[in-house]
Amino acid sequence: MSSQTDDGPSRERILAAATRLFAERGYDATSTRAIGEAVGLNIATVAYHVGAKPELYRAVMRRAHRAQREAVTAALADLAACDPAPAETRAALLGFVDAYLSFCLAHPEVPALWMRRWLAEGTELAEIETDFAGPLVAEVAASVRAVLDRAGLGAGADIEMLVFTIVWTAHSFAQAGVIDAAGRRLGTRDLPVLDRFRRHLYAVVTGVLDRPAP
């Protein structure tokens, strides 16, 4: 039996533990038993509050998507409200990029969950991409294209691929940082490295905008 409408403490604890474990181990390597053990509950109690493992995973990904969509929607609203002049539009687009990067850094579990899916975790649950990722990417690409067209920018740019590039790089940096010449992993708390990454991402975006039309 599943009680999907139960938003009490037990359900929240289960979802929090499931989010952490799915992000760390992936869908395939995370059992309902392990999630239950993380919160001191048995499998039957987990199922009562959230359902079986696929239902639990959908709930985790739905919550992650809602947080992601909320941040992206706010950033798109700021982008759409910018002055249509080219210089202001460029600055606003970089502001959008920075807002998404900041979201990834503040909520590292969200990039981790999506990166696990990139590794073909939970492939039987293809509706995660159909319902969540696909529509959001398309919405962002259409919104960015409209703002750029208004300013006369990026006529030669593949905006959908630009959106994916921002997502790939922001997610990867939020999770792995960079490796220096000595083999040390420098993460997101290393402010000089973060600044260097941000400036590089800005340069990538700007370079795409300056690509000549075919």
Q: Mean of the pLDDT values across residues 194-209?
A: 95
Rounded Cα distance between 131 and 65, Å, is 10
Question: Residue 8 has what pLDDT?
Answer: 62
pTM (2 decimals)? Answer: 0.89
Task: Tell me: pLDDT of 40 over 60.
Answer: yes
Helix H or strand E segment including 13: helix 9-25
Tokens of 154: 């990026």
* 55 touches 122 (CB < 8 A): no
- Better-predicted residue by pLDDT, 15 or 214: 15
CA dist 103 → 4, 73, 92, 98, 156 (Å): 28, 12, 17, 9, 28
Helical residues (DSSP H) of the chain, grouped into ranges? 9-25, 32-39, 43-50, 53-80, 86-106, 109-118, 127-128, 134-151, 159-176, 191-209
Rounded Cα distance between 98 and 127, Å, is 29
**Domains contained in the chain, CATH given:** 1-51 (1.10.10.60), 61-209 (1.10.357)
Question: Residue 104 has what pLDDT?
Answer: 97
Residues 11-37 pLDDT 10s: 999 999 999 999 999 999 999 999 999
Compute CA 73 distance to the chain's CA centroid, rounded to the nearest angstrom. 13
Contacts of 195 (CB under 8 A, 6+ apart): none
Q: Mean of the pLDDT values across residues 148-166?
A: 95
